[in-house]
């Protein structure tokens, strides 16, 4: 055997040294095998039947446009049918989702949208037993549902706390994506406290765990085998996984479970304000060093906020001692507050911090809104390009406004148009001062220094919002 040249030996040694850290790193990665083995039995498959309805794809999913010879076509036709047709085996249709067992006597937790509209709910365990479940209750605001099956001695998921989760922490999901039962996928926590447009009262956990239709309602585990979330939604342009998955924190989910068990419904705290984010421009008009807090755009009549003297233009900085960094932070904090409890708020009002106490009431089934657009006539313009006038008595009655406000008749090119104002808007405040009538609006406008940003509160249709107008320099 020929001796290895010195150069070859050096390269070999370098290769070993280079690879060694990688090998060590791979050994440090988590091993999920025992976690899946121990927790797989607590995860269930959920199917539902709806009489005389065609099967709809799960929420957030659309059947992809596949080539005619693709083997996946048969799969999608079996579960979802042809467009406009009913699946072959369906006088009754079936949708698939996931869930997990939270008590040995048969309570099962899943998403509300998994069982929505079902005539019959079937729960299948990992040992192939199948039960017809009773729907104990649902809470659509959190997208949670509690089921009950007639069984004893079932394996139970260990419930942890989502409050202890850290961004970057490993997590594991087990569920039934596309009906493939007991599928395990892993990833990390990408962010906490995410607010989604349709769910204001849930501070979602964002992960990069592969979640697909059918995973909905399944558990999200930490490395200790504790459930820390309930997989609920995905962000996708195609209907498939794209690295953005959202789970309901288990603390929120278990609060829903306890309320559904004891009361049959879920109660949430209610403050009675419409809020928006504080932008950099708005922060400047309020004299804030940086954008933070929830800006109050509207205080609903006969609400806890109205009773506590919360006002439009107030910036809520903290709630019960917890910082409100953005407007999305506030609704979950209020919603989690017990009805009847007195909460403390710190608000920024005209540059000064004010402490308020408010008695939280129960969130109504339908939150209040007010206002519609009104007709316009011709008047004369002002320095920011607006033509405004006072409201008539009939318009005030229609908009449910007892006093104050001027109507934008029309808008010319200029600062107001650039800020986003429109004809038909109702101006309620200018430079953080109430606008009671046209004369007061003009008086405030005349005092505004050239070149400075000014906050203006407007009502448009049934919502209120602050905008920032950059005053002309001349």
Instruction: Single out the residue of 343, 349, 293, 300 nearest to residue 317, CA to CA.
Output: 293
**Cα separation of 242 and 246, whole Å?**
12
Instruction: Single out the residue of 123, 127, 125 nearest to residue 136, CA to CA.
Output: 123
Q: For the chain, how big is the Rg over CA atoms in Å?
A: 28
Phi, psi of 33 (to 5 degrees): -60, -45
CA angle in degrees (0–180, nearest 5) for 190-194-195: 155
Active site residue 113: yes
Set 93, 98, 112, 113: catalytic member: 113
Active site residue 143: yes
Active site residue 89: no
Phi, psi of 230 (to 5 degrees): -120, 115
**Cα separation of 13 and 347, whole Å?**
65
**Cα separation of 151 and 426, whole Å?**
60
**Cα separation of 40 and 14, whole Å?**
44
Set 139, 143, 314, 431: catalytic member: 143
Q: How many CA atoms lie within 13 A of 227 on its CB side?
A: 31
Residue 214, C-beta contacts closer than 8 angstroms, at least 6 positions apart: 58, 96, 97, 98, 175, 176, 177, 178, 179, 180
Query: Is the Cβ–Cβ distance between 206 and 191 less than 8 Å?
Result: yes
Which residues lie across from 196 on neighbouring strands? 199
* Residue carrying the six token digits 């609400």: 303
Residue 416, C-beta contacts closer than 8 angstroms, at least 6 positions apart: 384, 385, 386, 408, 469
Set 216, 232, 303, 327: catalytic member: 216
Q: Which two tokens stand for residue 443?
A: 């008086």
DSSP 397: H
**Cα separation of 271 and 269, whole Å?**
7
Query: Which residues form the catalytic set?
Result: 113, 143, 216
């Amino acid at each position: 055997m020929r001796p290895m040249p010195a150069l070859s030996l050096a390269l070999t040694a370098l290769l070993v040294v280079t690879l060694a850290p990688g090998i060590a790193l791979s050994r440090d990665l988590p091993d999920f095998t025992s976690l899946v083995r121990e927790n797989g039995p607590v995860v269930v498959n959920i199917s539902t039947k709806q009489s005389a309805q065609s099967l709809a794809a799960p929420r957030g999913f659309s059947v992809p446009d596949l080539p005619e010879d693709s083997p996946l076509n048969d799969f999608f036709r079996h579960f979802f049918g042809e467009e406009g047709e009913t699946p072959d085996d369906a006088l009754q249709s079936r949708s698939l989702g996931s869930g997990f067992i939270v008590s040995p006597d048969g309570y099962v937790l899943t998403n509300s949208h998994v069982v929505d509209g079902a005539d019959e709910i079937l729960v299948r365990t990992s040992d192939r037993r199948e039960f017809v479940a009773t729907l104990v209750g649902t809470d659509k605001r959190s997208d949670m549902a509690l089921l009950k099956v007639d069984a004893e001695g079932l394996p139970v998921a260990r419930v942890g706390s989502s409050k202890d989760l850290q961004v970057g922490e490993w997590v594991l999901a087990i569920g039934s994506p596309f009906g493939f039962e007991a599928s395990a996928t892993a990833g990390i926590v990408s962010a906490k406290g995410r607010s989604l447009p349709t769910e204001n009262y849930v501070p979602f956990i964002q992960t990069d765990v592969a979640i697909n239709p059918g995973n909905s309602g399944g558990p999200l585990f930490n490395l200790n085998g504790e459930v820390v979330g309930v997989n609920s939604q995905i962000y996708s342009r195609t209907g498939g996984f794209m690295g953005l998955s959202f789970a309901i924190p288990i603390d929120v989910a278990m609060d829903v479970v306890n309320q559904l068990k004891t009361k049959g419904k879920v109660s949430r705290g209610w403050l009675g304000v419409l809020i928006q984010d504080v932008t950099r421009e708005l922060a400047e008009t309020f004299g804030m060093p940086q954008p933070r807090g929830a800006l109050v755009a509207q205080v609903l009549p006969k609400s806890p906020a109205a009773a506590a003297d919360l006002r439009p233009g107030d910036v809520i900085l903290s709630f019960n001692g917890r910082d409100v960094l953005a407007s999305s932070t506030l609704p979950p904090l209020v919603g989690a507050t017990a009805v009847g409890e007195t909460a403390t708020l710190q608000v920024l009002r005209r540059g000064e911090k004010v402490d308020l106490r408010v008695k939280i009431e129960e969130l109504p089934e339908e939150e209040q809104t007010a206002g519609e657009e009104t007709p316009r006539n011709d008047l004369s313009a002002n320095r920011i390009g607006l033509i405004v006038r006072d409201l008539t008595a009939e318009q005030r009655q229609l908009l449910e406004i007892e006093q104050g406000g001027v109507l934008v008749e029309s808008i010319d090119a200029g600062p107001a148009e650039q800020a986003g104002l429109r004809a038909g808007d109702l101006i309620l405040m200018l430079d953080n001062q109430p606008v009671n009538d046209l004369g007061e609006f003009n008086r405030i406008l005349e005092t505004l220094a050239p070149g400075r940003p000014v906050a203006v509160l407007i009502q448009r249709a049934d919502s209120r919002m602050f905008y920032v107008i950059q005053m002309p320099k001349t």
